[in-house]
Amino acid sequence: MRRVLGWSGLLVVAAVVVAAGTYVVFWPLSDLIARHDVGAVTGTHRAAALQTARDAARGRLLAFGAGLFAAGALIYTARNFTLSRRAVQITEQGQVTDRYTKAIEQLGSDTLDVRIGGIYALERVARDSPRDHPTIMEVLVAFVHEHSQEPWPPSASNEPSGAPPLRMTRPDVQAAVTVLGRRNPRYDQQSIDLSAVSLTRARLRRADLGGADLTATDLTGADLHHANLHDTTLVMTDLTSADLHGTDFTGARALDNANLSGAHLTGAIWPQDVPVPEGWVRDPDSGRLRRASEGTGDAGN
């Protein structure tokens, strides 16, 4: 009946049922109430008094019936809304699951472009489904660990002898760390484990890697311009020749153990309790670094 009549049709049917029930039950009951109210009244006034009492009783019963109908309609509406919302949530979750499954399949493709597409598809799923956000970040971390050590560009059998080509981070690994660097902290409070991975010359400008484990990570020549390395672990981290302009090292652990040879540290926020690298000076007011040979101008640019 719901499919044929819909919501408005159901209300009409319910109203008819209530009206019929009111007539069958309340009308005879109104006579009993009226006779009780009239009591011992006799004579010529009894008929008029009885009609007046009957009308009053019917009015009260009708008001009571209308209240019951309104309460029932409210309960039905609330239940229907709850069921509809659950149906929508189930449908949306099913769509998210389908998107997630397809993106994972893309991630395992032999084609580079398909893998990159799968990574950004996972990012969209993470944005649309906060409950899946931590899981997707874990998947991308695992992908980086699995593939970051593979050389790029790949060695060719006909590669001429001499100086080897400049090695970089694989494009799909680059895509994965890009997504990791802009994860939503509202949905994901867990730290990122990027220890012992190779991110040579990776582009991580303004990436949020706060709290990440970068133990023994190779970030040689990486672009970490204004990146957030707040509270990161940097035991034996290789930051040789990395661009660390404006990078935030506040609370970083084992920063004095990292390899910062040739790193560009202008404007980097440096902790007070960590020795400043040779050739650099920490501004006492801003906490930012500048070259020792430079003046006291703004070090944050």
pLDDT band at residue 20 using 50, 70 and 90 as cut-offs = low
> What's the pLDDT tens digit per position in 215-273?
999 999 999 999 999 999 999 999 999 999 999 999 999 999 999 999 999 999 999 99
How far the first Cα of the chain sits from its last, in Å, is 70
The CA distance from 161 to 287, in Å, is: 47
Q: Is the pLDDT of residue 31 over 60?
A: yes
Q: Is the pLDDT of residue 2 over 50?
A: no
The CA distance from 123 to 125, in Å, is: 5
pLDDT, position 13: 63
The CA distance from 203 to 162, in Å, is: 27
Domains of the chain, residue spans: 2-38+48-89, 99-149+168-190, 192-301
Instruction: Look up residue 172 and give its two tokens.
Output: 């799909």
The CA distance from 228 to 205, in Å, is: 9
pLDDT, position 19: 59
The CA distance from 148 to 192, in Å, is: 15
Q: Is the pLDDT of residue 295 over 80?
A: no
pLDDT band at residue 42 using 50, 70 and 90 as cut-offs = low
pLDDT, position 228: 97
Tell me the residue type at 3.
Answer: R
The CA distance from 258 to 68, in Å, is: 75
Mean pLDDT of 209-216: 96
Mean pLDDT of 178-196: 91
Mean pLDDT of 87-116: 84
Question: What is the rounded (10 degree) CA torsion for 145, 151, 152, 153?
Answer: -160
Whose tokens are 């009015």? That residue is 59
- 276 Cα distance to chain centroid: 38
Q: Which residue has the higher pLDDT, 268 or 25?
A: 268
CATH code given to domain 192-301: 2.160.20.80
Stated pTM of the model: 0.69
Helix 133-147 to helix 112-128 angle, to the nearest 10 degrees?
A: 160
The answer to whether the CB of 100 falls within 8 A of the CB of 121 is no
> What's the pLDDT tens digit per position in 103-124?
999 999 999 999 999 999 999 9
pLDDT, position 25: 57
Query: Residue 257, SS3?
Result: helix
